[in-house]
């Protein structure tokens, strides 16, 4: 999110009686090739230039700490890392350094890689999918946004009876 946006949103929500409405900040949104399938499905790829002007450099882990500090000071309730799998170190770092819950956005390209591997018979979906989500929890996420949510919920329900 752009600097100052969390503070503006928080002030507007508070002013209009929504002080208990939570804000999840795009604290660490990295410029990534893994957004591709979603962008392609919605035809939302930039028509000129790219979206990297407001996304973080994948090589810069320290910037996530700076953004987390700013977002927290402005009133964020959750800090989000996007994409998730290739930034487990950032998730872990934020979990160690922040008192706020950490969310991970497991984006379309990350899911598509696993689906392609399972469709080619290289991995077993019923084993690899929950293991993938477990890795996000182990890194420190409190909430996971994923295209696998329904499949995981069904699997979890079946296993728990």
- Could you tell me which residues come within 8 angstroms of residue 62 by beta carbon, excluding any fewer than 6 positions away? none
Say if residue 87 is exposed, middle or buried (CB neighbours under 10 Å; 0-12, 13-18, 19+).
buried
Out of 15, 29, 47, 157, the active site residue is: 29
Q: Tell me, what's the pLDDT at 157?
A: 74
Residue 155 a catalytic site member: no
- At the fourth CATH level, the homologous superfamily of domain 5-12+21-45+53-160 is Aldolase class I (3.20.20.70)
Q: pTM, whole model, 2 decimals? A: 0.84
As given in the structure block, the two tokens for residue 73 are 């000071």
Q: DSSP state, 52?
A: G
Residue 150 a catalytic site member: no
How confident is the model over 97-142, as pLDDT tens digits? 999 999 999 998 999 999 999 999 999 999 999 999 999 999 999 9
Out of 47, 82, 97, 157, the active site residue is: 82
């Amino acid at each position: 999110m752009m600097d100052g946006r969390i503070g503006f949103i928080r002030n507007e929500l508070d002013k209009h009686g929504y002080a208990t409405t939570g804000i999840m900040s795009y604290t660490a949104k990295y410029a990534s090739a893994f957004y591709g399938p979603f962008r392609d499905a919605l035809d939302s790829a930039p028509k000129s230039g790219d979206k990297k002007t407001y996304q973080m450099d994948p090589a810069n882990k320290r910037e996530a700490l700076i953004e987390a500090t700013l977002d927290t000071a402005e009133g964020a309730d959750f800090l989000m890392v996007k994409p998730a799998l290739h930034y487990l170190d950032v998730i872990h770092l934020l979990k160690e350094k922040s008192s706020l819950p950490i969310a991970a956005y497991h984006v379309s390209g990350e899911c598509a890689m696993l689906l392609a591997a399972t469709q080619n018979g290289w991995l077993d979906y019923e084993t690899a999918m929950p293991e993938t989500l477990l890795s996000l929890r182990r890194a420190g996420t409190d909430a996971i946004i994923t295209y696998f949510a329904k499949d995981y919920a069904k699997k979890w329900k079946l296993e728990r009876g």
